[in-house]
Amino acid sequence: VKSEGPKLVPFFKATCVYFVLWLPTSSPSWFSALIKCLPIFCLWVFLLAHGINFLVSHRSASRILAGLIFSAVGDAFLIWQEQGYFIHGLLMFAITHILYSSAFGMKPLDLKAGLLMGLVSGSCYAFLYSYLSGPFTYLVAVYIALIGFMGWRAVAGMQLCNDLWTWTKLSACIGAMLFMVSDLTIALNKFCFPVPYSRFIIMATYYAAQMLIALSAVESRDEEDYRKRS
């Protein structure tokens, strides 16, 4: 907390600015896009504050940074989703989930966690299917598969049952789950029925998810510091 907390202060301030201003979504503008993306920009700075050498030498951290960049672009597209840019935003976040999955890695495999995430993802798509039409029928399927895969890799990395977990792996796991909640709320609100307080739920879980995933990038730094002390 002492080492990473101060670096996250700009993120918390930017998030407060978003919720305090609460700009109407009915009149999208570049200013509203900036306010929405500002917390994610602050997470870029959070990772960059650990040093360029750290990002270059640790692929997981650099991939999470790349995922945050694509997330910001996706956020900007979703500001104008009613003008036909929803699919563009969907594509940007699909790339984000691929990058996050790559950052979390494939070890340990944990097929039980994969099966559980597969069942959850499949159930979500089965519920949404009757509400989907046109290209969204397969686009949403692909997207759910990608975010489900990302969730699997985050959960598998925690190794809670083996008592091998760390706080950064736990943050990745919780972050992935919150990201899924945020995106499921978007899907329900857009394709199925109005969700009460949907915007607040979507953005609160989204910002928390991104912060926790960004925090998980310092895992490799913790291991490196531990080796030096040993």
pLDDT in tens, 130-145: 999 999 999 999 999 9
Q: Does residue 186 contact residue 180 with C-beta atoms inside 8 Å? A: no
Number of CB atoms found within 10 A of residue 128's CB: 20
The confidence score (pLDDT) of residue 2 equals: 74
Residues 6 or more apart from 113 whose CB is under 8 A from it? 152, 155, 156
pLDDT band at 1 (very low <50, low <70, confident <90, very high): low
Q: Is 217 left (phi over 0), alpha (psi -120 to 50) or beta?
A: alpha
pLDDT band at 224 (very low <50, low <70, confident <90, very high): very low
- Asked whether the predicted pLDDT for residue 223 surpasses 80, the reply is no
Q: pLDDT digit string (tens) for 64-98?
A: 999 999 999 999 999 999 999 999 999 999 999 99
The confidence score (pLDDT) of residue 162 equals: 62
The confidence score (pLDDT) of residue 228 equals: 45
Q: Does residue 221 contact residue 58 with C-beta atoms inside 8 Å? A: yes
Comparison of pLDDT for 69 and 167, the residue scoring more: 69
Q: What average pLDDT does this structure show over 122-137?
A: 97
| Distance separating alpha carbons of residues 118 and 155, to the nearest angstrom | 12
Q: Does residue 93 contact residue 143 with C-beta atoms inside 8 Å? A: yes
CB environment 183-197: b (16+ within 10 A), e (fewer): bbbbbbbbeeeebee
| Distance separating alpha carbons of residues 93 and 47, to the nearest angstrom | 19
Backbone angles phi, psi at 184, to 5 degrees: -65, -40
Q: pLDDT digit string (tens) for 4-16?
A: 889 999 999 999 9
Which 3-state string (H, E, C) describes the chain?
Answer: CCCCCHHHHHHHHHHHHHHHHCCCCCCCCHHHHHHHHHHHHHHHHHHHCCCHHHHHHCHHHHHHHHHHHHHHHHHHHHHCHHHCCHHHHHHHHHHHHHHHHHHHCCCCCCHHHHHHHHHHHHHHHHHHHCCCCCCHHHHHHHHHHHHHHHHHHHHHHHCCCCCCCCHHHHHHHHHHHHHHHHHHHHHHHHHHCCCCCHHHHHHHHHHHHHHHHHHHCCHHHHHHHHHHHC
